[in-house]
Structure 1
Amino acid sequence: MTASVLARLDPDAPALFMGLISGTSADAIDVAIVEFADARPPRLRFGGDYRWDDTLRARLVALGQQAQAVTLDEIGELDVRIARAFADAAIAALADAGLAPAAITAIGSHGQTLRHRPNGTAPYTLQLGDPSTLAERTGIVTVADFRRRDVAAGGHGAPLLPALHAALLADPAETRAVLNLGGIANLTLLPPDGPVRGLDTGPANGLMDAWCRRHTGAAYDDGGALAAQGLVDASLLQRLLADPWFAEPPPKSTGRDQFHLDWLDTRLAGTETVADVQATLLALTARTVADALRAAQPDAGRVIACGGGVRNPVLMAALADATGLPVDSSARFGVDPDQMEAMGFAWLARQTLLGRPGNLPSVTGAAGPRVLGGIYPA
């Protein structure tokens, strides 16, 4: 099946690819069905998000905390359970889009990150969601495990979407930055001339969601209402900013296994109010994005935001204030902010099937361009 797909894949002919991702917040499985052809920009044909089983999601969130232990048996079982959930989301998306599995050339599946440790003597990144199970259940060629080849080549395996950001949002007349506000925030730097660059800047929704869930039971701070009730605690903010990771130069990446509630708890004085901590976490996101942008691309004229944080008006206002720049949703430029990442993994699947690199060494720090991921026949 894979050989036949490779043989018939014409880069100039429109073809549909599906991207699947659950980000660091594990809030939902995002699905995008995208039409690609070399001669024109990618076109989103369908986008949707599909809920996790509550018990499985709770376990995934818990495993994002560095202190959580997990057995080999549980890792193996989670690998299959996550893949089944991804397959269910893919099948539901096909039904919602009115498409048959045969209409999709391939699925690009990110999986669910369990650990991301690109530094050290044996760097690694681990995403679960068995691609063989996904291919078996959907009947669609699946491409997965995108990050590890970049890490093997000396890179961080992240961010992987700057090339797509450049294709969709670069402007020859303006220096732009694309800001993804998922569980972690990352920037893609798009100068009118010169290489595309990118980096993770630190926590975005992940810490705010976790704090809100602990103290209110809500999965996230809807509209930034909790943060808006509080005041930024300047002393706490300085203790958070003192983490050495923020001062590291790019290339750099991070995850929920580094910035989590245990990390926050060790920096609390114990007298802060719930709302003040939430306001301070929001300020941490805005401040670290602004600091990273000033250091890496001080001549930026605009920030284009995507990801779940776009729906938080308090955060968007704080980002505009901290950067001193217009901060617009990618929706203003014709790109659904909720589907950008899933679109990216559809794009990566196509790159792999065409034998094209999926990484940008100027972003990840890898030794060179690499074709990413493995191909799993239907």
Structure 2
Amino acid sequence: MWCQSPAAASLPPTTVKKENGLTGCFGSPTRFPIQQSNSNTDNINGKKEGEAEARSPSLERNSQEELLASIGSVDAAVSCVGNVDPTEEWIQLFGLGFDDDRLRYENGRVNEIIVDIAQAAGARHFVFVSVSYEAAKALEGPIEGYLDGKRQAEHAACSAFGKDGAIVIGPQLVYGGKRFPVLGKLYRCVVESPPARSYVRTNDFLRGLSSAPVEDWLGKMLFSSPVDVAIAARVIAAGALGMVDRDMVGDRRQGFFDSNGKPVLYDNMIFVDGTGEIERVDGLVSREITARNQKELDRSSPPADDTAQAPASAPPSRSTKEVNAMEAFIDPGSISRDDATHESTAPIWEGALNNKSQYLRPLPSVAAFAFIVWGIATGQFVQVA
């Protein structure tokens, strides 16, 4: 997603697209607040896929020079590109496996190219959607290529835009839009319920009794609250507009190690980590916008005395466009339904289950092992003379 400056509105807008482009989980929700905040809505590509006017060259079909020429000048860039799909081939007993080299390329190298193009186009801010600290700790071993690719992309963004110009959003599980909206809310209710919280605290307490406690990162990831995509998208949009700064998040958590036990340091860039942090930053941005909006309205409102004249330096009242921009951040429901492109044409669950059937492969093996365990436990295999 490329956000052009008003001065470059005459240049052709474009989008680096992967599958549905701006119609994905983060694409459309992120586009709306940014689009509302620009003076020219054509600065952000939001055409439906397949329309003749939609100039959407991909990294595979066009050189970086052609893509850069079609983009023109931009103020900010957002990359939601990522992939964690298993391999098509059946791997070992359970059938589920990952090609680490492919994951490193699709999560790392592809985003490096996007960073290079964004920098060449003059972007001042680059927002990258990664994963939370708990998810990274849980997945760094089983899906090493995925985390390596994310780390590679983050380093490229930090090198190009600096520690304050590159912003990383690290959500946990994401729900909302057409992507399991009911299931996501139910899952959040479950993990935030008193029994679930009690289980997590008890588990932490028992591990703490060990002389060498080992963190249960998988459990922490599974019992972490998912985030509504609308909230995550507003924070992504705020980052692209330069409204997320270091003071909001502090320094980044470290504590990663490679297979040899040596520490792996992440760049100390602006990192909004997990559901709690995303929701907190969203609240800070919303309050800042509300306060700024009220202050400017107070300055531009006429004095109580009708005979008095406003000073010449008083700023004009906010336009409808600016008010809509504020509402788009503060209240996602204020976004017009007419702006929700692809609402009726999006695939079921926004295609979230595409290429995910491989995750079902372990089920037969798990069922077979469960049957054997059940048989042994209940004495089904014991022969009586």
- Quickly name the TM-score band, shorter chain normalised: under 0.3
Structure number having the greater strand percentage: 1
Structure number having the greater helix percentage: 2
Larger CA Rg, structure 1 vs 2 = 2
Greater RCO, 1 or 2 (C-alpha within 8 Å, sep 6+): 1
**What is the TM-score normalised by the length of structure 1?**
0.28
**What is the TM-score normalised by the length of structure 2?**
0.28
